[in-house]
A and B are shown apart, each in its own frame.
Chain A
Amino acid sequence: MTKPPSTGPAWPETLIGLGLLGVAALVWWQTGEIRTSPMYAKVGPRIFPYLTAIGLGAMAVAMVVAGLRGGWQLDEEREVPTDWRAVFFVGAGLLANVLLIVPAGFTLASVVMFVLVAHGFGSRQPLRDAAIALVFALSAYFGFAKALGVNIGAGVIEKLLGG
Chain B
Amino acid sequence: METLAALGGGFAVALSPENLLWCLLGTTLGTAIGVLPGLGPALTIALLLPITFQVPPTAAFILFAGIYYGAMYGGSTTSILLNTPGESATIVTALEGNKMARSGRAGAALATAAIGSFVAGTVGTLGITFLAPVVVDFALKFGPAEYFSLMVLAFVTVSAVLGSSAVRGLAALFFGIWLGLIGIDLQTGQARFTFGLDELLDGVNVIVVAVGLFAVGETLYVAARRYTGNDEIVPLRGSLYMTKEEWQRSWKPWLRGAAIGFPIGAMPAGGSEVPTFLSYYTEKKLSKHPEEFGTVGAIEGVAGPEAANNASAAGVLVPMLTLGLPTGATAAIMLSAFQSYGINPGPMLFQSQPALVWGLIASLYIANIMLLVLNLPLVGLWVKILRIPAPLLYAGILVFATIGTYGISNSPVDLVLLYVIGIVGFLMRRYDFPTAPVVIGMILGPLAEQEFRRAMTISNGDWSVLVTQPLSATLLALAAVALLGPMVWRMARR
- Residues of B within 8 Å of A20, CB to CB, are 171, 175
Taken together as a complex, chains A and B put the C-alpha atoms of A141 and B430 apart, in Å, by: 33
Q: How far is the CA of A27 from the CA of B422 in the complex (A)?
A: 20
Interface size class of A (residues with CB under 8 A): 35 or more
A-B contacts counted at CB < 8 A amount to: 211
Of residues 54 through 106 on chain A, the ones whose CB sits less than 8 Å from some CB of chain B are 55-56, 59-60, 62-63, 66, 72-74, 77, 80-84, 86-87, 89-91, 93-94, 97-98, 101-102, 106
B288 at the interface (CB under 8 A from A): no
Chain A residue, CB-CB nearest to B191: A34
Task: Say whether A152 faces chain B, with CB atoms less than 8 Å apart.
Answer: yes
Collect the chain B residues with CB atoms within 8 Å of residue A83's CB: 223-227
| Interchain CB contact under 8 A, A118 and B392 | yes
Neighbour of B392 across the interface among A12, A27, A45, A132, CB < 8 A: A132
- Are the C-beta atoms of B410 and A153 separated by less than 8 Å? yes
- Distance, CA A153 to CA B415, complexed state (A): 13
B140 contacts chain A at the CB level, 8 A cutoff: no
User: With A74-B432, A98-B412, A98-B415 as given contacts, are A140 and B223 in contact (CB-CB < 8 Å)?
Assistant: no
Q: Which among A13, A47, A52 has the highest number of chain B CB atoms within 10 Å? A: A52
Q: Is A159 in contact with chain B by the CB < 8 A criterion?
A: no
Interface assignment of A8: CB less than 8 Å from any CB of chain B: no
Question: Is A23 positioned at the interface, with any CB of B under 8 Å from its CB?
Answer: yes
For residue A122, CB closer than 8 A to chain B, the reply is yes
Residues in chain A near residue B448, CB distance under 8 A: 48
Q: In the bound complex, how far is the Cα of B321 from the Cα of A111, in angstroms?
A: 41
Q: How far is the CA of A68 from the CA of B188 in the complex (A)?
A: 42
Which of A73, A132, A137, A149 sits near B53, CB closer than 8 Å?
A149
A12 in contact with B419 given A60-B171, A87-B224 (CB within 8 Å): no
User: Is the pair A114, B457 in contact by a Cβ cutoff of 8 Å?
Assistant: no
Interface centre among B164, B392, B427, B445 (most CB of A within 10 A): B392
> In residues 29-52 of chain A, which contact B (Cβ within 8 Å)?
30-31, 34-37, 40-45, 47-49, 52
Tell me the smallest distance from the CB of B368 to a CB of chain A, in Å.
26
Assess whether B282 is interfacial by the CB under 8 Å rule. Answer: no
B431: which of A16, A55, A101 is its contact (CB, 8 Å)?
A: A16
Asked whether B402 lies within 8 Å of A106 as measured between CB atoms, the reply is yes
In whole angstroms, what is the CA distance A25 to B187 when docked? 25
Q: Do residues A82 and B224 form an inter-chain contact, with CB atoms below 8 A?
A: yes
Given contacts A63-B168, A72-B165, A98-B412, contact A27 B178 (CB under 8 A): yes
* CB neighbors of A among B391-423 (8 A): 391-392, 394-396, 398-400, 402-403, 406-408, 410, 412, 415-416, 419, 422
User: In the complex the two chains form, what is the Cα distance from A105 to B55 in whole Å?
Assistant: 28
Question: Contacts of B216 on A, CB cut-off 8 Å?
Answer: 94
Residues on A with beta carbons closer than 8 Å to the beta carbon of B394: 90, 117-118, 121
Q: Taking CB as reference atom, which chain A residue is nearest B51? A: A148
Question: Once bound together, how far apart are the Cα atoms of A16 and B453, in whole Å?
Answer: 33
Instruction: Collect the chain B residues with CB atoms within 8 Å of residue A55's CB.
Output: 170, 173-174, 177
> Is A129 part of the contact surface with B, judged by Cβ < 8 Å?
yes
Interface: A133 (CB within 8 A) = yes
Q: Is the CB of A27 within 8 A of B54?
A: no
B237 touches A (CB below 8 Å): no
Assess the A148–B407 pair: CB atoms within 8 A.
yes
Contact across chains for A101 and B415 when beta carbons are under 8 A apart: yes
A114 vs chain B, min Cβ distance (A): 4
Known: A48-B452, A106-B406. 9 other contacts (CB 8 A): A44-B188, A45-B185, A48-B448, A49-B192, A81-B226, A93-B398, A101-B406, A129-B395, A153-B410
Q: List 13 A-B contacts (CB under 8 A).
A: A20-B175, A30-B193, A43-B457, A56-B178, A80-B226, A83-B226, A94-B398, A101-B402, A114-B399, A117-B395, A123-B392, A129-B391, A136-B399
Interface on B for A, CB 8 Å cutoff? 48, 50-51, 53-54, 164-165, 167-168, 170-171, 173-175, 177-178, 181, 185, 187-188, 190-193, 195, 216, 219-220, 222-229, 389-392, 394-396, 398-400, 402-403, 406-408, 410, 412, 415-416, 419, 422, 427, 430-432, 445, 448-449, 452-453, 456-457, 460-461
